[in-house]
């Protein structure tokens, strides 16, 4: 009887809130820990792969995005990515993260939805060379970033990542995160063992524009 009486009072609601508070606090601590690990590994990645010059610009953009296990533009981006990722991962090569990076970028806008659905459902699907329904510079740059990561001929190259006149902060942040996914996967930042131990050498691609520089699977190659 006491339980039935209490369940209809404000005191009961207060008691429920008090019981939930420790769980909420624990989730917040866990999220902060994961976010700190993500930022740390992202910084290491940018330094190691020649993006040190733009690392401050990228990190400063983080507050404009939502963090929920990973970084997304908004809830729609997050929901679309996880839905498509769960479909792809069933029959995928778990060692190759390039498709995950492509899914991440194509999930940013619903206008990419048809291309994204075809890409996820058909392993033999070839991305269109031209995105015909683009209605802005941002979507144009994102789709060319998809092609660049896929190893296709693209209107975007590595050197463009260093030019503020070409890419705004949002697009740059998404591209760097896609490249980060390509290297570590979506949850790789949670595993500290993934951190590389090689010494850092700041060889920025920006200073090698007159040389033959290519990117292959996250590695920067220079052909002499």
- 205 in Cβ contact with 214 (< 8 Å): no
Indicate the number of domains in the chain.
Answer: 1
Is 12 part of a structural domain of the chain? no
Range of 102's domain? 28-223
Chain segment 71-98, per-residue pLDDT in tens: 999 999 999 999 999 999 887 777 889 9
Is 10 part of a structural domain of the chain? no
- Give the integer Cα–Cα distance in Å for 205 and 214: 10
Q: What is the pTM of this model?
A: 0.74
- Give the integer Cα–Cα distance in Å for 44 and 197: 10
Is 5 part of a structural domain of the chain? no
Is 14 part of a structural domain of the chain? no
Instruction: Say yes or no to pLDDT of 202 above 80.
Output: no
pLDDT at 133: 66
pLDDT at 153: 92
Provide the percentage of residues in the chain whose pLDDT is more than 90. 54
pLDDT at 93: 73
Is 13 part of a structural domain of the chain? no
Chain segment 135-175, per-residue pLDDT in tens: 788 999 999 999 999 999 999 999 999 999 999 999 999 99
Cβ atoms within 10 Å of 28's Cβ, excluding its own: 10
Helix (H) or strand (E) holding 4: helix 2-6
């Amino acid at each position: 009887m006491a339980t039935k009486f209490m369940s209809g009072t404000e005191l009961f609601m207060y008691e429920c809130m008090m019981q939930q508070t420790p769980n909420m606090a624990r989730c917040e601590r866990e999220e902060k820990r994961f976010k700190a690990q993500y930022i740390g590994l992202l910084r290491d990645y940018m330094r190691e792969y020649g993006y040190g010059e733009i690392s401050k610009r990228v990190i400063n953009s983080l507050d404009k995005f939502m963090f929920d296990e990973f970084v997304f533009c908004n809830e729609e981006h997050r929901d679309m990515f996880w839905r498509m990722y769960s479909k792809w991962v069933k029959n995928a090569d778990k060692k190759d993260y390039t498709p995950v990076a492509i899914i991440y970028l194509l999930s940013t806008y619903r206008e990419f939805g048809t291309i994204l659905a075809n890409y996820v459902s058909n392993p033999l699907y070839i991305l269109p060379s031209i995105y015909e329904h683009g209605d802005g510079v941002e979507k144009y740059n994102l789709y060319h970033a998809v092609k660049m990561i896929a190893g296709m001929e693209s209107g975007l190259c590595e050197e463009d990542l260093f030019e503020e006149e070409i890419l705004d902060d949002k697009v740059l942040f998404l591209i760097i995160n896609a490249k980060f996914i390509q290297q570590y996967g979506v949850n790789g930042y949670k595993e500290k063992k993934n951190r590389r131990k090689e010494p850092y050498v700041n060889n920025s691609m920006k200073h090698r524009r007159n040389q033959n520089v290519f990117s292959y699977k996250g590695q920067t190659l220079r052909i002499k």
